[in-house]
Amino acid sequence: MGHIDVFVKGTDGNMWQKTFDIGTGWGNWQPLGGPIGSRPSAVSSGAGHIDVFAKGTDGNMWQKTFANGSWGNWQPLGGPIGSTPSAVSLGSGRLAVFVRGTDGRLWARLFNGSWANWTDAFAGGGVLGSEPAAVARTGGVVDVFIRGTDGAVWHVALGNL
């Protein structure tokens, strides 16, 4: 607590991190490897634990985790995916990640001790016109917003995740 972490895709194609510590200000940019094929999506699911997701240059989703004071290696999570991931924390050690699939549909991958398979998160829904933006609220509900191919903003509330 007491700091903010910012993650970006650098001009070199790799992921970079910058940290703001309350009382001391901004630190220097730190390289975290790659290359990555999209903007990163970061989420904290517990004290001192950060998970960052990005579309890899191979078209699949990749994860990098900060735990126990250090960064782990990039881990593949499958795909292919068609957009930047949008990750949310559902509580300590519980994650949900949403992407637009290569088929244009909304897909989710859940973590609760281990990764579940990809699931169609908007069953009966149509093709997405944008990448998803997700936010978690209490009670295990996640609100996902997307732009439809009609240009309108669409919303789906997913419960019991």
Angle at 107 between CA 144 and CA 47, to 5 degrees: 65
More confident residue, 129 or 115: 115
- Indicate the domain borders of the chain: 3-158
Averaged pLDDT score across all residues of the chain? 92
CA dihedral 77, 64, 54, 30 (to 10 degrees): -160
Domain 3-158 has CATH 3.40.50.1100: no
Instruction: Return the pLDDT at 62.
Output: 98
Q: How confident is the model at residue 3 (pLDDT cuts 50, 70, 90)?
A: confident
Q: How confident is the model at residue 45 (pLDDT cuts 50, 70, 90)?
A: confident
Instruction: Return the pLDDT at 1.
Output: 58
Residue 6 has pLDDT above 90, yes or no: yes
